[in-house]
Amino acid sequence: MMKSMSFLALAITFIFFNNSLATAVTYNVLDLGAKRDGKTDSTKSFVTAWATACGSMKPAIIYVPTGRYLIQSLHFRGQCYNSAITIRIDGTLVAPSDYGVIGNPGNWLLFEGVSGVTVRGGILDGQGTGLWACKASGKSCPSGATTLAFVNSGNVKILGLTSLNSQMFHIVVNGCRDVKIQGVKVSAAGNSPNTDGIHVQLSSGVTILNSKISTGDDCVSIGPGTTNLWIENVLCGPGHGISIGSLAKDFEEAGVQNVTVKTVTFTGTQNGVRIKAWGRPSTGFVKSVIFQHITMINVQNPIIIDQNYCPNNLNCPGQVSGVKISDIVYQDIHGSSATQIALKFDCSKKNPCSGIRLEDVKLSYMAQPAEASCVNAGGTSLGLIEPTNCLLV
């Protein structure tokens, strides 16, 4: 009897699932006038596809077949009449070669106020090399565009996407809830400026899984107001590591809490796991963070907390950081440092770091135990710790 009931339940689930797929309406951008030659502007076709899908009462699929599609800045707005829109990309979306076209608006592909959107597959080519060269030359240049941004949205999935050569940030999640990023590949030159792989801020319930990020800035940057973030099985390098911050840009600032970073390999990066805050007053905080099962391969700063953050020592505030950092766990972290000091906690004199816990940390420098540096940092250690623990108990 139980087997019969189980079979019946499974059959009903299967029928429901297939019916829900069958009711989805598909909009092929080629049918709406898009050209896949990489030269003809196909922006209007994507605008039409979104307007139709968003206005549909049924689940909708926007399908982008193989080919290269030249796209200018797009703003996909909610609220839609359904909460199940999938953008399935088998081709490549290409930004204009003139970096000023999308560099001034600040976003290339922007989703705002949407719910239940999935971006699946495909390649986004931001063609950012021209803007990087402009910035390197010291000329007056646009700040640049984020390739893909979700703002004030929920129940979002980004699956199997590749982002190439973004002008600035590759993927941004801002003011969102329940976002899954899985199987993503990010690629940009190691010297490309401000090309963070994935940036999360003011968001809750974000997961980043099974991804490979090679870029010129942070592989993942975690901004103020980020809570319940899970990062697992990520390859990072080149890049600046995985960073919480920079914080204390503003005095009134939301905190960062409940962050887990596990099973990550850093290769040749500037930093490994980093928390950074400007040296100025702030209401911000960082607490309940776990860095676990981390491998470092020739990383310049494998473990670092920097509460006197000031890149290139230009226009440093020179004040005491108000950000409170507590309950940070470093567990099972091993590998090699490219510098002698592999563990550096430079914390605030006014708000010392507290509750730091080191468990089974082994980092070497040139095949010898590395060194540690602690300023205004307190906590405990467990198991083998190399370099020698310098935390104040």
- Per DSSP, the three-state class of 28 is strand
- Per DSSP, the three-state class of 68 is strand
- CB 319, CB 359: distance < 8 Å: no
State both tokens at 253.
Answer: 């600032």
Q: Is 306 in the active site?
A: no
- The one catalytic residue among 218, 240, 306, 346: 240
Please give the angle made by the CA atoms of 186, 297 and 328, to the nearest 5 degrees.
85
Q: Pick from 33, 31, 16, 95: which is nearest to 61 by CA?
A: 31
Q: Pick from 358, 362, 360: which is nearest to 386 by CA?
A: 362
The CA-atom distances, in angstroms, between 391 and each of 2, 42, 287, 358, 385 are 59, 58, 17, 9, 11
- CB 159, CB 198: distance < 8 Å: no
DSSP structure class, residue 143: -
Residue 253 CA to residue 285 CA, distance in Å, equals 8
Radius of gyration of the chain, Cα coordinates, nearest whole angstrom = 23
Q: Is 217 in the active site?
A: yes
- The one catalytic residue among 217, 218, 306, 346: 217
Q: What residues pair up with 243 in beta bridges, in sequence order?
A: 221, 274
Q: Which long-range contacts (CB under 8 A, 24 or more apart) does 221-225 make?
A: 221/196, 221/245, 222/256, 222/259, 223/199, 223/247, 223/256, 224/249, 224/250, 224/253, 224/254, 224/255, 224/256, 224/284, 225/201, 225/253, 225/254, 225/255, 225/256
- Per DSSP, the three-state class of 161 is coil
Catalytic (active-site) positions: 217, 240
